Chains A and B, each alone.
Chain A
Amino acid sequence: MIGEHLPVLVVVVPLITALLIPLLTRAWRGTGWGLVSASLAFSAFGAIQLLVEVLRTGVPARYSMGDWPIPAGIEYVVDELNGMVLVMIAVAGTLAALWMHQSVKREVLARARRSYYTVFLLFAAGLMGITITGDVFNLYVFLEIASITSYVLIAMGKRKQALYAGFAYLILGSLGATFILLGIGHLYMATGSLAMLDIAERMANDPALYSSSVVRTSFAFFTVGFAIKMALFPLHAWQPNAYTQAPSGATIFIAATATKVSAYGFYRILFTVFGPRFLLDELPQIKEAILLMCVAAIVVGPLLAIRQKDLKRLLAYSSVGQIGYIMLGVVLWSADQTHLDGATGGLMHFWNHAVAKGALFCVAGALVYKTGAARVADLAGMGRHAPWTSAVMTVAGLSMIGVPLTAGFWSKFYLCTGALEVGRPAAIVVLLVSSLLTAVYVWRLLSLVWFAPKDAEVKVDGEVPWSMRLPALVLGAACLYLFFQPIHLDIARAAAEGFMK
């Protein structure tokens, strides 16, 4: 019986648990962490089940709320594309929840501690809702849930700057969400529908819609709105502060998933709702503009990361670059729609970046746990005293560069072949330059960790507790596993074929 309801349960179980936590923790203090972990583990299990089922049958799983058929009702649809993102969110959420048990006391503002777990879980439910829904307005509702809770999560950090970071993100994030809402409004005005598949059908049946200025305006709003929410260069200003100031447990989760979910939103709106032909036939110049923004992000992100003194900020700037790789998948494909390597690479990077950046932020969190701050200089000599954590950092760092034997290699490989396929060899040069720049800052970290002079003062003088080491090790191992067993290659390929139909 649970099987048929899984699409709704993966969202509703964390949602209900989030509401139960403030009630239950009144009677039993300290149950919050267990409830968060258990409900996210359930969602992870459900999401994997759904993805396996979709891959086995090749048909999307669809679920109508209240048994109302579209376009009247809200529908949840799981296909290869969002099944992949859903698994990423739920697994990253579970690992981040397991990780943060020890650090909440040290890193979350005392008077916010009671509501921390509720907000964290609502955030997770919001992200999963954005991903799974097949209704554009429902997408906006979940986007608001995820946005508002993420502002709060960031502001819960202990330092005063956390309030500023949260507020700055609130202003920019609300702007982005408003743009997306305006996009939805214009789309509704032009097509009279809110269900994604229904809008797509109406667009396909009425060629006049493509050239209508209302539809184009709607697309412009969507593009800018999602670009702000995913921190695509040059709209990334909110992101480094937010990642730096948020409590480490929240940062792991936000960095591994939040901007990617917005990138997914853009993929979904562009390919499923508007259709790939829209970008190609109607707005080729916009495609070029997005490509330019991606290239700028890919180069500028690591450039800014190199000179950071704070590990969390360094990783945040590296994320600015990495989102560019994901968005390259949106533009590296061609008119005959058989060249899917670019899109495949972009989609694979969802998982590759999630595991690598998740692992790196686990290490940054461990540094904060040990020293109280995330100063890069304090990494000196960590390799001798915390070999596990340092090993995770090494593997994940190499994966960020894209070295073979780590997962990151595959996304760059497919983005390169994709660039060749569509006749844009210049993109390969950009990817190589960015890999070199990434290597510079990763090497800076690794040389401190492993090759610090013997007499250097060692700040990290031991391992963190197992509850923090284990999630980091799982993510680090995933960086290796996904190279040897690229299970996400088939999923990404199937997803790319799905939306290029």
Chain B
Amino acid sequence: MRTESVVVRYLALRAAPFIQLYALYVLGHGEDGPGGGFQGGVIFSASFVLLALAHGWPFGRQQVNEKVADILAPTGALIFAGIGVLTMLAGGAFLEYGAFAKAGAEDPEAARLAAQHIGLIGIEAGVMITVAASMAILFFEMSRPPRESKGNDA
């Protein structure tokens, strides 16, 4: 059921990209402040919820390709686990990002910190992909309008 208010509809449409941008900002700050992959993912999929609320369920559904979401949901978690496997291949423990540091770096401590940085962003990105995709799937599956009201929605 789309809302009657043209203001709400217009604002929701214009706000959605900024919400998604903000989600990426939250993702980037997860390392040293409040935020991170989970929060970023939730905010990202909230943009689709907003579109569905303002423009109706079918419009929101169209914005999220079902197949792509189904593929992205496990892929994000695989990125997380895959980074763990890569750290093991690089000679460290599971999820020991420091193992990515170059062996002959001038300042080993700085190199280790930089490597940790990369590893952390990597797994957070994985978390964000999975959370965003799962949240979108959950929302659209659970809020699917009953069959008889389908005509009114479209």
Contact = CB atoms under 8 A, between A and B. Distances in A.
Interface residues of A, number: 15
Contact of A67 (B78, B84, B85, B98): B98
Interface in A83-124: none
B95 interface: yes
Contact of B94 (A8, A19, A23, A26): A8
A71 interface: no
Interface stretch (A58-66, A332-340, A367-375): A58-66
Interface in B94-109: 94-98
Interface string B44-87: 00000000000000000000000000110111011001101101
A5 B81 CA distance: 14
Given A63-B93, A65-B95, A12 B84 contact: yes
Contacts of A67: 92-93, 96, 98
B60 to A, nearest CB: 23
Interface string A10-27: 001001100110110010
A63 B84 CA distance: 14
B78 A19 contact: yes
Contact of A16 (B70, B71, B81, B87): B81
B96 A66 contact: yes
Interface string A465-476: 000000000000
Contact of B95 (A15, A22, A66): A66
B78 A65 contact: no
Could you tell me the dominant secondary structure of chain A's interface residues?
Answer: helix
B111 interface: no
Given A5-B88, A19-B81, A12 B74 contact: no
B85 A66 contact: no
B94 A65 contact: yes
A23 B75 contact: yes
Given A12-B84, A67-B98, A26 B92 contact: no
Nearest to B94: A8
B81 A22 contact: no
A16 B80 CA distance: 10
B40 to A, nearest CB: 20
Nearest to B73: A22
A16 B88 CA distance: 14
Contacts of A64: 93
A67 B70 CA distance: 33
Contacts, number: 49
Contacts of A12: 81, 84-85, 94
A66 B71 contact: no
A224 B105 CA distance: 54
Nearest to A19: B74
Interface in A341-384: none
A64 B96 CA distance: 9
A16 B95 contact: no
A398 B33 CA distance: 61
B144 to A, nearest CB: 14
Contacts of B84: 8, 12
Nearest to A76: B94
A250 to B, nearest CB: 21
Contacts of A8: 84, 88, 93-94
A143 B89 CA distance: 29
Contacts of A26: 71
Given A12-B85, A22-B70, A66 B94 contact: yes
Given A5-B88, A22-B74, A66 B81 contact: no
A19 B130 CA distance: 11
Interface in A49-86: 63-67
A66 B75 CA distance: 22
A12 B92 CA distance: 16
B34 to A, nearest CB: 20
A117 to B, nearest CB: 13
A288 B88 CA distance: 48
A66 B84 CA distance: 9
Contacts of A23: 71, 74-75, 78
Nearest to A4: B93
A123 to B, nearest CB: 16
Nearest to B87: A66
B12 to A, nearest CB: 32
A12 B81 CA distance: 8
A455 to B, nearest CB: 53
Contacts of B94: 5, 8, 12, 63, 65-66
A15 B81 contact: yes
A67 B94 CA distance: 8
Given A12-B94, A66-B93, A66-B95, A19 B88 contact: no
Contacts of A20: 74, 78
Contacts of B81: 12, 15-16, 19
Contacts of B75: 19, 23
Contact of A19 (B70, B77, B93, B95): B77
Given A19-B77, A23-B71, A26-B71, 4 more contacts: A16-B82, A23-B75, A63-B94, A66-B95
6 contacts: A12-B94, A19-B81, A20-B74, A23-B75, A66-B96, A66-B97
A-B CB proximity, top 5 nearest: A66-B95, A67-B96, A19-B74, A67-B93, A8-B94
Interface of B: 70-71, 73-75, 77-78, 81-82, 84-85, 87-88, 92-98
